[in-house]
Amino acid sequence: MLNKLSSVQCFGGQQLRFEHSSKVLNCTMQFSVFLPPQAEQSRVPALYWLSGLTCTDENFSSKAGAQRTAAELGLALIIPDTSPRGDDVPDAEDGAYDFGLGAGFYVNATQEPFAKHYQMDSYVVDELRHLVEAELPVNSLRSIAGHSMGGHGAIALALRNPGLYRSVSAFAPIAHPSSCPWGRKAFTGYLGSDPKAWRDYDSVEMIQAGKPCPPLFVDQGDADQFLPEQLGFDALKVACESSQIDATLRLQAGYDHSYYFIASFITDHLRFHAQYLVD
């Protein structure tokens, strides 16, 4: 059951925020939704947006400027939080930004004390999806996108669930988390120290293993401060080329890792997804 926290008119549609009790995450969760004006007449397709480290469900809705084009195209935007929240939810012992609260990495944790709450894979793929499609004017046509940690999540969840998402896109995704500091830290904490347990959440590894991928679109800024050490763009490009998947990977000159980068190209991503979602 959804509890509406706020509703603001935006480009003829509604920017909404909801709260609900999550059985999967064992806590109360909040998420944001943009419903385009077309949703007043019929159920509309949805793009799920997964945000990055330290973000909540409100960063994308307030910074990306996606609502104008989503309203034009008739796309709902579903924006979950990045991790479970609450006083009982364990956090990083040192309060680090790249693990724990705000850094759920969209995995189903197997390690204690995180396994009880950090089930973000099942939350996004199953619980939130069913809730949204049951209680909001959203149909069963869906795609997924994200930024940084959320870009990792978007590609990984699309690869893990063939046929669930019609298309996938990402800005500066952590594409090869098994080989970077952010990913190794998160995967060790949530999934354990055996790298074999990480493969099912590593996009490059899954593509190399032959997992089917929906049409993929990635933008990466070449001035991104995290590109050399954290993001694995070159490894993703090699994996896509060798597997001959339907992928467009763009390296954008002069752009960094920020929401200024996302705002500059979000319209391209929405129009990309509309090809697969809107008749």
Catalytic residues: 148, 224, 257
Cα(34)–Cα(46) distance, rounded to whole angstroms? 9
In this structure, are strands 76-80 and 27-35 parallel, antiparallel, or unpaired? antiparallel
Two structure tokens written together for 170 = 């990402």
**Residue 190 in 3-state DSSP?**
helix
Question: What letter would DSSP give residue 244?
Answer: T
Cα(177)–Cα(180) distance, rounded to whole angstroms? 5
In this structure, are strands 168-171 and 76-80 parallel, antiparallel, or unpaired? unpaired
State the virtual CA torsion across 52, 58, 63, 66 in degrees, nearest 10.
Answer: 90
Cα(259)–Cα(257) distance, rounded to whole angstroms? 7
**Residue 77 in 3-state DSSP?**
strand
Q: Give the Cβ contact number of residue 47 at 10 Å.
A: 28
| Residue owning tokens 């200024």 | 260
